[in-house]
């Protein structure tokens, strides 16, 4: 009987695991209706997107490393974010004046090579799937964007403000993509990440993150108007079908089998 009970318990545990592994994904859009400028999405003016808190912060390599700087001021430090109404969000790094027509860019009228990035922080791990752009000067050359999914070490390197972009994404999944024109002042980029992360860097094309075939550097500048992301969830509320291996159903089955086994043993004793 103990064997039967043990088998039932193992069956229940195994089936519960099978149910958890069949995760569904939900897609969400964040179009900056509300914005919390912070590295920590749970602090400040918390913005909730279907149960996920999101915040944004600006970053650029516009400070000099103590040792080993290339002469292009390679150290990544925080930068200001600025909304350009009707177009999207941009970064104003420490080189740029307040009244400029701001963009997320790798261009500089002063000849510096610096890359603006926006960090998206999420309260739980998500997969970034699309980036929307409110403006991009495609007449100035092909427009590309770089993206990285940061882990804890990358986040610490970023917020420590003593690292280069190469240091920050050393352990991260990263890639670069072309922008696709979809309408007047509207561009989008579809990403192909399958992993989840709480921290996503999105910024001006930097080949350290990955190269785009036929891409062009130091001519990328745009405003970011929104992102799409997916979040894994255990149960799909839109799915009305009854799970075959529901743990509750299995628990009842196990209990029935256990009672049946108990009765059978009693009968066996009486017939001896
Ligand atoms: Ca720089
Ligand atoms: Ca380009």
Cα(14) to centroid(ligand 1), Å: 53
Domain boundaries, the chain: 2-17+245-270, 25-233
The tokens of 271 are what? 């017939």
pTM of the model: 0.78
Those residues whose beta carbon sits under 5 angstroms from the ion ligand 2 are: 142, 144, 216, 219-220
* Runs of H (alpha helix) within the chain: 2-21, 152-160, 165-168, 247-270
180 C-alpha to center of ligand 2: Å?
12
Distance 142 CA to ligand 2 centre (A): 5
Which pLDDT tens digits describe the chain residue by residue (272 residues)?
A: 444 444 434 333 333 333 344 468 899 999 999 999 999 999 999 999 999 999 999 999 999 999 999 999 999 999 999 999 999 999 999 888 877 679 999 998 778 899 999 999 999 999 999 999 999 999 999 999 999 999 999 999 999 999 999 999 999 999 999 999 999 999 999 999 999 999 999 999 999 999 999 999 999 999 999 999 999 876 545 544 433 343 444 344 434 444 444 444 444 444 43
| Ligand closest in space to the Cα of 204 | 2
Residue 37 CA to residue 30 CA, distance in Å, equals 14
- CA 245 to ligand 2 center in whole angstroms: 51
Q: Looking at the CA of 136, name the nearest ligand.
A: 2
Which of these, 203, 133, 214, lies nearest to 165 by C-alpha position?
A: 203
Q: Which residues pair with 201 in a beta bridge?
A: 119, 148
Distance 73 CA to ligand 1 centre (A): 4
Counting ligands in written order, the one closest to the CA of 165 is 1
């Amino acid at each position: 009987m103990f064997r039967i009970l043990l088998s039932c318990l193992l069956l229940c545990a195994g089936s519960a695991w099978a149910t958890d592994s069949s995760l569904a994904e939900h897609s969400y859009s964040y179009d900056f209706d509300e914005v919390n400028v912070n590295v920590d999405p749970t602090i400040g003016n918390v913005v909730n997107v279907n149960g996920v808190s999101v915040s944004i912060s600006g970053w650029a390599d516009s400070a000099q490393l103590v040792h080993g700087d290339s002469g292009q001021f390679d150290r990544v430090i925080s930068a200001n974010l600025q909304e350009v109404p009707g177009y999207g969000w941009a970064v104003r790094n420490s080189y740029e004046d307040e009244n400029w027509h701001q963009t997320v860019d790798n261009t500089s009228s002063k000849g510096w090579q610096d890359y603006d990035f926006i960090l998206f922080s999420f309260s739980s791990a998500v997969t970034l799937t699309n980036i929307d752009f409110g403006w991009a000067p495609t007449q100035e050359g092909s427009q590309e964007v770089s993206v990285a999914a940061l882990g804890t070490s990358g986040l610490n390197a970023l917020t420590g403000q003593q690292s280069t972009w190469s240091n920050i994404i050393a352990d991260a999944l990263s890639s670069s993509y072309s922008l696709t024109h979809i309408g007047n002042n509207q561009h989008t980029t579809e990403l192909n990440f399958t992993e989840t992360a709480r921290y996503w860097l999105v910024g001006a094309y930097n080949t350290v993150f990955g190269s785009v075939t036929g891409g062009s550097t130091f001519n990328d500048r745009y405003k970011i108007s929104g992102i799409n992301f997916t979040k894994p969830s255990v149960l799909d509320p839109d799915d009305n079908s009854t799970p075959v291996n529901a743990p509750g159903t299995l628990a009842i089955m196990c209990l029935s089998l256990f009672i049946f086994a108990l009765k059978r043993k009693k009968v066996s004793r009486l017939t001896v």
